[in-house]
Chains A and B, each alone.
Chain A
Amino acid sequence: MGNVTGIGASILRKEDLRFITGRGNYVADIKLPGMTYAVFVRSPHAHAKLLGVDARAALAMPGVLAVLTGADMKADKVGGIPCGWGITGKDGLPMKEPPHPAMAYDKVRHVGDPIALVVAETVDLARLAADAVVVDYDVLPAVVGVLEALRPGAPAVFEDIPDNLCCDWEIGDRAATDAAFAGAAHVARISLVNNRLVGNPMEPRAAIAQYERSTDRTTLYSTSQFPHVVKLLMGNFVLGIPQHKLRVVAPDVGGGFGVKQFHYAEEAVVTWAARRLEVPVKWVSERSEGFVSDAQGRDHVTEAELALDETGKFLALRVSTLANMGGYLSTFGPNIPTNLYGPLLAGVYTTPAIYCEVKVVFTNTVPVDAYRGAGRPEATFVLERLVDVAAAEMGIDRVAIRRRNMIPTTAYPYQTPVMMEYDSGDPSGCLDRALAQADWDGFPARRAEAAKRGKYRGIGLATYVEACGLAPSRIAGRLGARGGLYESATVRVHATGDVTVLIGTHCHGQGHETTFAQIVSDKLGIPADKIEVVFGDTDKVQFGMGTYGSRSLSVGGSALAKSVDKVILKGRKIAAYMLEAGEPDIVFEDGKFSVTGTDRSLRFDEICLAAYIPHNYPLEVLEPGLEEQSFYDPVNFTFPGGAHVAEVEIDPDTGSVQLLSYVAVDDIGTVINPMIVAGQLHGGITQGAGQALCETAVYDDASGQLLSGSFMDYAMPRADIMPNMKIITHSTRCTHNDLGVKGCGEVGTIGSPATVINAVVDALSPLGITHVDMPAAPNRIWRLIQAARLPKAAE
């Protein structure tokens, strides 16, 4: 009884049963009476004028109900897809914000840009009809890379933005930074690419929409990480549906990782089509379709410099990045390479002066937005690579240089020069444990043994801090957020003492049905199996901002804790009345309300019954019922951090890099369920290792075609490339939420690319190699080794 199912327990997951028996309820599983099937016609060209869409042949085919186009949407006055975050440039002017029509009507801007929706009785009939839609294009030259897009005379993705520059953004103190560089004993420099990724959750995106004329209600089922926000954005800005007449449901969702945290054109088009045709319309993305329509991640080109004094103390950091937005602004796109990147460049170090400028650039590629880590992996990668480069150039040990610059635990709360104030942390403690667990000191012997077998072995280290728990609304607003970032939770206590939690976050694999129940169990002293956690249906649950940015626990969990506290507060009032004691004499512990110093008590469930059958009850001063709601706006970001160590072995004959071991020590604040935390780290590290070793989205420079357009060419990590990872939590409490939690959903992906690449570079350093861009795939590694082994040409 009591806290067996509370905070800190690795209880098995309550949600598993339906998944292991194949009874999950994913959008693609849902069938509605009279349902029709929709397929999108998408541009095969990266950049073209759209001259006309001829649907006559398609409409004549059997079973085809409609072919709806961007022109039809425009005639219906459907709004464009809104951007939810408006950043401001160096000049104080707002970013360029071109229109983003839900379906193209005059121009297509990336391969996969949707042009028409074919609705038919079966999906096969819809696909055949989509093949028969004839589209007239005037193909234009395309531009794919950020460097090319910024060159004068490059094709303009938007005619009225001839330089393709969405925003020229900055953070930090340029003058102080430049001055520090001027006085530096050493300047370490790096040029690097943070390669574009395709998120690829295993469940493809899907949407089903339905309109019921007799109630004037519209329902959308969508694979969304934030159904309430979809309801607001789509209802209010795109389709003009009143909020009280629109329901959005995100049922079981098979993985998100950010890919599903945007309001997508497909959601609006399917909903609009269902209202127009008055039949349910279902769309399920094919995987190769997702490759050209799901928002993609990363895609930075960076020049960075670190100024150091003669002892290796960091004096200043200067970073210049070009960030690819793709062909349109996605919901959070402009925020990722700016506000979630620049402010993280202090890392765990005391660097006193930092300046970062980012040019956010349009190209003819799929839109780019948040993907697990969203800006923080990019920042960590730049910083940790630079630190290793500086160490190598100055002949300082990689660990020693980090310790020399690390924020001491006594310095928290620590104000960085790039806006963020870290509340708590113990980076040197994390580092100590990681090095010990990884047997850092024993590595030279392992390297020598590998060399005997003809292999290059390397060990890499990265420290990181990240900013998540998005976010304090006022700060977010100042940074350009167009919404709030609070979270909401209702705790509905039933007459029998069972509890239903209605929470505004969304779970797509993170185990919230278990961990949120643990929080309630811990505080109320009741077993977790008496607590049901409900989310994802805007008809059932109050407005919430959804799940991304590792916010569910720190923001949602805090709202939940507040609501439980309100329940307990009311319970104490009821107990005081029923036990004829003063409220200050009531103690709530282990699920019982007792009068201090006596043996008189009432169980939680007895209080619950009294609240709903208020015969012995203070009706004059207290309403019946026991249901409390909280909206919680966080005081600050949260700042998980840690240290990761990896070892790799490289086969010079084939260029293959094998990841042999991975140790992660992470400070995530209070741990609710260690088993679930480890799972989050396993998954995040594997995604980061994927970026470092094998994943990369490749576009043809000339045509803008996505060459890595399926799993045949986009190398997803499989079980055989990963070792067993050692996951250790080394927590310091968050100081600004009651639970003391920081969140852990993205930390794995944030620390790992730098860790793995630092190991790869370490392995190849005997050959004089000083940097390897991601992915460290066999062909690239082989080329580097070949080039390094050539006799140096005369200068």
Chain B
Amino acid sequence: MELTLDINGRRIKADVPTDMLLVDLLRERLGLTGTHVGCDTSQCGACVVHVDGVSVKSCTMLAVAADGARVTSIEGLSGAGGKNSLHPMQIAFHENHGLQCGFCTPGMIMSAIDFAGRHAAPTEADVRHWLEGNMCRCTGYQNIVAAILAGTAAMHAAAATSSLEKV
């Protein structure tokens, strides 16, 4: 089946089997292997990407259902400095040692960016609750929570600055 979608700012056309999952379109067809598969019960969150701006488990969405959608995977993130710069949430994970083996990290970062968009002044409890659908076995979550709080603050500060600049 033919589909057209925007992946990380690039418009692509693909002919895919109807039963292809979005995660497999990304990993196998488009070579975007940053999105990971960690379970088979749609629970672990390693596969989280953004579809039309919100977190979605790409292992539980058909590729054909993304026809006409705007999909952002971890590879599509960047910062104010352009293509090779880091998104504030990526920087926050690095600065707060919010990753060890890195396998859950892309899903965590994508989920965290969605969180930041919905929380102006979050508490630690808000973050821990939000992460119900993101499992990590390495970090014990503590530094991930710190990273998400820091990344959220950085994202809001950057938005405030850029909106000031627009004036």
Give the B-binding residues of A (Cβ under 8 A). Answer: 12-13, 15-24, 26, 28-29, 31, 124, 200-204, 252-255, 257, 284, 286-288, 508-511, 675-676, 678-679, 681-687, 710-712, 716-720, 722, 724-725, 748
Q: Please name the 4 residue pairs, one residue from A and one from B, whose CB atoms are nearest each other, closest first.
A: A22-B34, A19-B102, A254-B103, A509-B101
B74 at the interface (CB under 8 A from A): yes
Complex Cα–Cα for A28 and B47 (A): 13
Complex Cα–Cα for A348 and B160 (A): 55
Give the A-binding residues of B (Cβ under 8 A). Answer: 19, 27, 31-41, 43-44, 46, 73-75, 77, 86, 90, 93-95, 97, 99-106, 109, 124, 127-129, 131-132, 134-145
Residues of B with C-beta under 8 A to A201: 101, 103, 137-138
B33 touches A29 (CB 8 A): yes
Smallest CB separation, A256 vs chain B (Å): 8
B104 touches A28 (CB 8 A): no
B41 touches A679 (CB 8 A): no
Known pairs A16-B102, A254-B104, A724-B142 / 13 extra A-B pairs, C-beta < 8 Å: A12-B94, A12-B97, A124-B19, A202-B136, A202-B137, A287-B39, A287-B41, A287-B44, A288-B40, A678-B143, A683-B138, A685-B140, A716-B135
Closest to A15 in B: B102
A203 touches which of B36, B95, B142 (Cβ 8 Å): B36
Given A16-B94, A124-B19, A682-B142, A202 contacting B101 (CB threshold 8 A): yes
A718 touches B100 (CB 8 A): no
Interface of B is mostly: loop
Complex Cα–Cα for A204 and B73 (A): 21
Complex Cα–Cα for A257 and B86 (A): 30
A710 touches B137 (CB 8 A): no
Residues of A with C-beta under 8 A to B124: 724
Smallest CB separation, A224 vs chain B (Å): 14
B131 touches A718 (CB 8 A): yes
A22 touches B33 (CB 8 A): yes
Smallest CB separation, B76 vs chain A (Å): 9
Closest to B107 in A: A202
Smallest CB separation, A28 vs chain B (Å): 7
B77 touches A21 (CB 8 A): yes
Complex Cα–Cα for A287 and B101 (A): 18
Complex Cα–Cα for A203 and B137 (A): 10
B145 touches which of A200, A257, A719 (Cβ 8 Å): A719
Complex Cα–Cα for A139 and B141 (A): 44
B74 touches A255 (CB 8 A): no
Complex Cα–Cα for A725 and B124 (A): 13
Given A202-B135, A711-B43, A511 contacting B103 (CB threshold 8 A): no
Residues of A with C-beta under 8 A to B19: 124
Residues of B with C-beta under 8 A to A31: 31
Smallest CB separation, A37 vs chain B (Å): 10
Closest to A709 in B: B41
Can you offer 13 A-B residue contacts whose CB atoms are under 8 A? Answer: A19-B102, A21-B77, A22-B73, A24-B34, A200-B137, A202-B46, A203-B38, A254-B104, A509-B100, A511-B100, A710-B39, A719-B134, A724-B145
Residues of B with C-beta under 8 A to A717: 140-141
A725 touches B129 (CB 8 A): no
A510 touches B94 (CB 8 A): no
Complex Cα–Cα for A203 and B37 (A): 8
A683 touches which of B46, B128, B139 (Cβ 8 Å): B139
A20 touches B127 (CB 8 A): no
A719 touches B97 (CB 8 A): no
B97 touches which of A200, A257, A679, A720 (Cβ 8 Å): A679
Smallest CB separation, B142 vs chain A (Å): 5
Complex Cα–Cα for A31 and B131 (A): 31
Complex Cα–Cα for A201 and B39 (A): 11
Complex Cα–Cα for A710 and B43 (A): 10
A719 touches B128 (CB 8 A): yes
Closest to B78 in A: A21
Smallest CB separation, A681 vs chain B (Å): 8
Complex Cα–Cα for A722 and B139 (A): 11
B103 touches A255 (CB 8 A): yes
Complex Cα–Cα for A21 and B141 (A): 19
Residues of A with C-beta under 8 A to B138: 201-202, 255, 509, 679, 683
Smallest CB separation, A736 vs chain B (Å): 28
A255 touches B131 (CB 8 A): no
Complex Cα–Cα for A252 and B140 (A): 20
Given A711-B41, A719-B128, A679 contacting B32 (CB threshold 8 A): no
A19 touches which of B99, B128, B135, B140 (Cβ 8 Å): B99
Smallest CB separation, A40 vs chain B (Å): 15
Residues of B with C-beta under 8 A to A678: 97, 143
B141 touches which of A17, A684, A719 (Cβ 8 Å): A719
Complex Cα–Cα for A287 and B131 (A): 20
Given A19-B102, A682-B141, A719 contacting B127 (CB threshold 8 A): yes
A719 touches B40 (CB 8 A): no
Complex Cα–Cα for A675 and B147 (A): 14
Complex Cα–Cα for A247 and B128 (A): 43
